[in-house]
Amino acid sequence: MKNKKISGIHTLQLSSALVRGGHHVGSLLLIYKEVTRDNQKAWMQKLNTETRRMEHNTYMSI
């Protein structure tokens, strides 16, 4: 009985950690799904534009 309780606690901790981390993994998977061969180029341009905008904002705030 004690072993079952301990493994149950570990399972709960693991599942709650997965739920917390799952949101990030889920959004990454969605992004990965979006990047198909057809729109990879466009997506990369979008990403580069966002990165440049972030860099620009960083320089402007300094």
How far apart CA 47 and CA 45 sit, in angstroms, is: 5
Of 57, 35, 62, 30, the residue nearest 47 (C-alpha): 35
What's the whole-model pTM score?
A: 0.30
pLDDT beyond 60 at 35? yes
Confidence of residue 6 (pLDDT cuts 50, 70, 90): low
- Max CA distance (Å), the chain: 62
**Per-chain mean pLDDT for the chain:** 66
pLDDT beyond 70 at 8? no
The pLDDT assigned to 30 comes to 67
pLDDT beyond 50 at 1? no
CB 43 within 8 A of CB 35: yes
**Domain residue ranges of the chain, discontinuous segments joined by +:** 2-61
Residue 35 three-state SS: coil
At 34, list the tokens: 């979006």
